[in-house]
Amino acid sequence: MDTAHAAFQQFLDAYRDAALAKDVDAFVRPYDEDVHVFDMWNDWSLHGRASWRRMAAGWFGSLGDERVQVEFDDVGAFACADMICGHATVTYTALSADGRKLRSLSNRMTAVLQRRGGEWKVVHEHTSAPIEHTTLKAIPQRPA
């Protein structure tokens, strides 16, 4: 695995683990202080780690005793100089307190990581889902 893929996979692993644990601090740790996020939910965009932290705290807090299992596939990444661009399909599955799968949805993620203070930090993230053009509704399930 080359450096770009390894660094991007490390970010994805941290994202997955923090989401499952509902650990806000771990979730925001890979993000730069000046991160700019185009999230798929509610806000048009989020600026700065503090805004991203508020989003994560709200998300994790809304789960009650449920947890979220995050899985990535179609992962790809490339690097140029001190920047990595990676992309993946993300599937979020809600799990009950006893581990039963309750529901799931998928979206697409692109993240740009930049070397900051000797570490790879996410400086931009963009998530999306395709929109059905006649109804303007998001398509939260990936075609089989």
| pLDDT tens for each residue of 57-106 | 999 999 999 999 999 999 999 998 889 999 999 999 999 999 999 999 99
SS (H, E, C) the chain: CCHHHHHHHHHHHHHHHHHHHCCHHHHHCCEEEEEEEECCCCCCCEECHHHHHHHHHHHHHCCCCCEEEEEEEEEEEEEECCEEEEEEEEEEEEECCCCCEEEEEEEEEEEEEEEECCEEEEEEEEEECCEECCCCEECCCCCC
Q: What is the pLDDT of residue 123?
A: 98
Give the pLDDT mean for 12-30: 98
Q: What is the pLDDT of residue 57?
A: 97
Residue with tokens 């979220």: 68
Cross-strand pairs, 31: 122
Give the pLDDT mean for 37-59: 93
CA distance 32 to 109: 17
Give the pLDDT mean for 14-28: 98
Closest-CA residue to 70 (of 7, 137, 123, 127): 127
Question: How, if at all, do strands 101-116 and 131-132 pair?
Answer: unpaired
Q: How do the domains of the chain map onto residue ranges?
A: 3-128
Fold adopted by 3-128:
Nuclear Transport Factor 2; Chain: A, (3.10.450)
pLDDT, mean over the chain: 94
Percent of the chain exceeding pLDDT 90 equals: 80
Give yes or no for residue 54 having a pLDDT over 90: yes
What are phi and psi for residue 10, nearest 5 degrees? Answer: -60, -45
Q: How sure is the predictor about 1, in pLDDT bands with cuts at 50, 70 and 90?
A: low
Give the pLDDT mean for 99-118: 95
